[in-house]
Structure 1
Amino acid sequence: MTAPHPALPARIHPLVRAYLDTRDAVDETLIRFGSPVHLIFPQVYADNLERMRAVLRHQLPGHRICYAHKVNQSRALVRTAEHAGIAIDVASPQELASAIGAGFGPMRIEVTGPKGEAFLRDLIDCGVTVNVDNLWELRRIAELAGDRANVPVLLRISGFPDSPVSRFGVPLAHVDRAFDLLTAHRGRIRFLGFAFHIDSGEPAERVRAFDACLELVERAYGRGLTPSVLDIGGGFRQVFTADADRFDGYVRALRESLLGHREPMSWADNTFGYHIDDGAVHGTPVFHKYANTIPATRMLADLLTAPLERHGGRTIAQVAVDNMIEIWLEPGKSLVDHAGITVARVEFVKELADGTVLVNVDLSRDAVTPADQEVMVDPLVLPSPAHRPGPIGDGSAPHRGAGDIFPCLAPVTESGAVGVYFAGRLCLERDLITNHKVWLAQRPRPGDLVIFPNTAAYHMDLSAAAASMHPLPAKLAVVHRAGSFQVYRDNDYEPLIPVGVPPPRRLPSRRPPLRRPPQRWPVRPDSAGAP
């Protein structure tokens, strides 16, 4: 029996799967709004939020979730967060305006990241909580506030033992200088507590940071301050892969190809951060985060139940409760995990001089991939109606990249597995959407749809390019109500829109309001049970 080709199957939320299985809904969306499009699923976001809330409710009576707005510019997601009653973390004047426009009051807004003086003035006027990045910010807040404000602040700390140097936060060694400012300006600054952010995903590093901040709480009380909040930041990982064993198998095959032991699997000899030395592959690849299999809820639960040696082995949650410390966190990626996909259309397929097959689509790499990463999950290919030899679900051989996850999808007619690279529409050699080879059971054809999974976290907005005057992909909200799917422009989505009612008109708007109610599509019988 022939061994299967290496593959990186993507994990897909059941609601997203149900939408893609309802092919009439997908086709109508592309007819109405064109291609490419970013699709946001607010109900998946709400599901992720509820799972995280369940962990917190079980461990911590006092907590606050601040959705990290920076992860996606979607208004639909911000409105979903506001409707759910959580707080929001913003990092720019534009994000602040977005949060206020979505209904967040100052008591539910935290502002993080580096801030200039003009921004600080606005924050003081708004009365939001300022997560202070450095001593200059703290000093300027005191000076700008004068006697007219009591600005709520958190002090972000960095430089923890055995942690990499960070460009953000006040180093531990400088905390006494911060205490001097806080005590000298008690009437102008209301000191809430400390904050940190650990992006490594290493549990022990986060525990050390928490313990160090507990010690700072004790020192602050010794200076007459009364901190009651400890903000543990974000950095809770996503789970991209649907099959950890196949992911590991792909990486093994990739390493073999870099050594020349099998056909090339990377574009232009890209090593993805590996290096070859003495006939062996060494180093950590740039795509290592895509290997994660631990969901954010388990990461959070493990953190809250981690014992603290300095506190007699009591857990982080127990120490927080015993000392009346409120835990804040700033999840972004974990809340939008699987809550977004990007859909593009195949424009043409070409073969290069060395036999490499390129599948060119109508978007650029920057619209779906953070600039410094390689997204190590396979895109899904949905054949266009013209290329389907039989009805959906006729039992034909599956189309690689979709068939393993969506067995109802019909294959294209050409036979023979083919390894391809997906290429973008810019006139730049670097515009390769996949620098790793993707094996498909059939060669795609013009008009087929390509689904890029799990693009809601930074992929859609962090570096989307408008080079060559190409417009950015439209962003749409997809919801499932009363047995059917409805699609709204992102700016027009509201969590409480009744089924079949057209979205409200908002002026001014970047896009013209819809002129007709959203389309509704019944869910296919084989999708029953999706949320």
Structure 2
Amino acid sequence: MLISQQALRPPTAGARPFALTALRHPTVSTLLADHQTLLADLLDGLGSPLHIVLPEIFEENVTGLRQAFAEAGATADILFAKKANKADCYVRSAAALGVGVDAASTPELVKALAGGVPGHRIGISGPEKDDTLHALALQHDCLVAVDSVSELRRLATTARLARRQVRVLLRSRTAGQPGSRFGMSGAEREAAVGLCAELAGHIALRGFSFHLNGYSTEERARAANEMIEHCLDARRRGSPAAELVDIGGGLPVRYVEPRLWDEFIEQNEPSHYHAAKSFKDFYPYGGQPAAQAVRAIMAHPVDGAESLSRKAESHGIRFVVEPGRALLDQAGFTLLRVQQVDDRRDTDGYAIVTVAGSSFSLSEQWFNSDYLPDPLLLSARPVVEETFPACVAGSTCLESDLVTWRKIGFPRPVRRGDHLAYLNTAGYQMDSNESPFHDAALPLKAVLRLGDGGARPRWHLDGI
């Protein structure tokens, strides 16, 4: 089942001011509490940073998301958004559970196929895909989300030359976000629907998709309702198999308790960051869990009092969903070794902790933002309990290489050789931006599974 919020361990009473203590799945808590020696050995042997990936939790999330759709009275095909994490183990878990994959490049499609996911369960997304990706998708009977009329024409030519028929979704702009760079305008969509009917021997129009920024369940439900209407229109215009509405990803994840998040937003200011750095936007770390969001989307009233799921059912519409972060919730964390501590508390009021690694391994920097859940300090030896304010810096020669700009109130002094654990980093944080800068090797991923009855966890390198 999807991780219940009761199972996640909340912060203890009397938390530090501005603390954003990360919620933890019981498996993560067990690893951190009972297997620190193993984690330290892996970090020493495999290098810092080290990503710990936990496919068992991914599998729980798949089961829970399926349950959420079923409870909402909706039929949905789940496609794991491959771009959210490059680890092979998640694709293998998806294949074992009969879950599809959303791929947006030829290498992602190849990895999905190599991981055991059959082509008919793979969706191809992304703007203006190239002919190589089209040809491979066609060969394996993938579902292709087409972004423009020109792409549709190119894909039809590829299908004609291959003497095949390709299944397509037409990606359409929504009324709520008409300026999106993704998808077709109303006039373009009208032309594309007509073209699909003309080219029915090579193009099978199966439905519609859309792209939304943000996590509004109401806006996603309204957009899905628009796509249902597009399906009904396409059926009237000669595409009777238009029955799919792809609602995309954008299912939120809760990283911290909402109370802490609200307090943080209310009190946040530049003085809380190194060099008085100011950030305009943050991921909504205290948002609603993904299963709750699914229920809200499906229950949203459309056409008066009818819910989205009931309308879809009445018209024979199935949903497609492309979660990345939501399936990876709690399914991995990142370890870094402390390389040096520059204690500036007497002059600046806080220290700078330099780790072996860089901010490239926490991709929130890509969005000119900060990854806000507090890192967990794993001390090599016991020290006195006292609040130790510090930022966390990478070991590159870039002034902007801060893993955490925010001043963290560590519960005790940080020392060289200590380890930091950044929790819940599997979704988009681990590897989106990682680079062999300074000729450093890309960080490794260790796949861990807990043994039965408290046995030592089993591990292997991802991909091996």
**TM-score, structure 2 length as denominator?**
0.91
Deviation of 1:35 (Å) = 2.6
Partner Cα distance (1:177, 1:164) in 2? 17
Deviation of 1:4 (Å) = 4.0
Tell me which of 317, 327, 336 is aligned to 2:328: 336
Unmatched tracts of structure 1, length 5 or more: 259-263, 274-285, 389-411, 493-531
Deviation of 1:316 (Å) = 1.1
Deviation of 1:3 (Å) = 9.2
Tell me which of 192, 200, 218 is aligned to 2:232: 218
Q: Which residue number corresponds to residue 8 of structure 2? A: none
Partner Cα distance (1:305, 1:4) in 2? 38
Partner Cα distance (2:313, 2:265) in 1? 43
Q: Which residue type is aligned with residue 475 of structure 1?
A: K
How is 1:212-291 mapped onto 2 (pairs within 5 angstroms)?
A: 212-226=226-240, 227-241=242-256, 243-255=257-269, 258=270, 264-273=271-280, 286-291=281-286
The answer to whether the Cα contact below 8 Å between 1:67 and 1:81 also exists between their aligned partners in 2 is: yes
Partner Cα distance (2:235, 2:450) in 1? 51
SS of equivalent residue, structure 1 residue 328: strand
The question of 1:383 aligning with 2:375 is answered no
The question of 1:44 aligning with 2:57 is answered yes
The answer to whether the Cα contact below 8 Å between 1:42 and 1:479 also exists between their aligned partners in 2 is: yes
* CA gap 1:157/1:272 in 2 versus in 1, 3 angstroms: same
Tell me which of 218, 221, 224 is aligned to 1:207: 221
Q: Which residue number corresponds to residue 42 of structure 2? A: 29
The answer to whether the Cα contact below 8 Å between 1:201 and 1:236 also exists between their aligned partners in 2 is: yes
- Higher Rg of the two aligned structures: 1
SS of equivalent residue, structure 2 residue 120: helix
The answer to whether the Cα contact below 8 Å between 1:29 and 1:487 also exists between their aligned partners in 2 is: no
How is 1:114-513 mapped onto 2 (pairs within 5 angstroms)?
A: 114=127, 115-146=129-160, 148-158=163-173, 160-163=174-177, 165-226=179-240, 227-241=242-256, 243-255=257-269, 258=270, 264-273=271-280, 286-292=281-287, 294-309=288-303, 312-352=304-344, 354-370=348-364, 371-372=366-367, 373-384=369-380, 387-388=381-382, 412-413=383-384, 416-483=386-453, 484=455, 485-492=457-464
Deviation of 1:25 (Å) = 2.5
Partner Cα distance (1:164, 1:476) in 2? 42
Partner Cα distance (1:3, 1:121) in 2? 55
Partner Cα distance (2:331, 2:16) in 1? 30
The answer to whether the Cα contact below 8 Å between 2:362 and 2:429 also exists between their aligned partners in 1 is: yes
SS of equivalent residue, structure 1 residue 472: coil
Q: Which residue number corresponds to residue 392 of structure 1? A: none
Partner Cα distance (1:172, 1:325) in 2? 21
Q: Which residue type is aligned with residue 424 of structure 2?
A: N
Partner Cα distance (2:273, 2:139) in 1? 52
Partner Cα distance (1:479, 1:321) in 2? 39
* CA gap 1:100/1:272 in 2 versus in 1, 3 angstroms: same
Q: Which residue type is aligned with residue 287 of structure 1?
A: F
Q: Which residue type is aligned with residue 143 of structure 2?
A: T
Cα RMSD (Å): 1.8
Deviation of 1:438 (Å) = 0.5
The answer to whether the Cα contact below 8 Å between 1:64 and 1:329 also exists between their aligned partners in 2 is: yes
* CA gap 1:92/1:21 in 2 versus in 1, 3 angstroms: same
The answer to whether the Cα contact below 8 Å between 1:7 and 1:247 also exists between their aligned partners in 2 is: no
* CA gap 1:164/1:380 in 2 versus in 1, 3 angstroms: farther
SS of equivalent residue, structure 2 residue 412: coil
The answer to whether the Cα contact below 8 Å between 1:421 and 1:438 also exists between their aligned partners in 2 is: yes
Partner Cα distance (1:318, 1:251) in 2? 37
Identity %: 30
Partner Cα distance (1:223, 1:465) in 2? 49
The question of 1:76 aligning with 2:71 is answered no
* CA gap 1:61/1:428 in 2 versus in 1, 3 angstroms: closer
Give the number of equivalent residue pairs: 441
Deviation of 1:450 (Å) = 0.2
Q: Deviations over 1:475-525 (max 9, x none)?
A: 111111323211111113xxxxxxxxxxxxxxxxxxxxxxxxxxxxxxxxx
**TM-score, structure 1 length as denominator?**
0.80
Q: Which residue type is aligned with residue 422 of structure 1?
A: V
Partner Cα distance (1:364, 1:103) in 2? 33
Q: Which residue type is aligned with residue 133 of structure 2?
A: F
Mean Cα displacement is larger for which, 117-126 or 99-108? 117-126
Q: Which residue type is aligned with residue 9 of structure 1?
A: T
* CA gap 1:4/1:290 in 2 versus in 1, 3 angstroms: closer
Deviation of 1:193 (Å) = 0.7
Partner Cα distance (1:201, 1:14) in 2? 27
Q: Which residue type is aligned with residue 155 of structure 1?
A: L
Q: Deviations over 1:68-122 (max 9, x none)?
A: 1110001001101110111111111100110110111111111110211232222
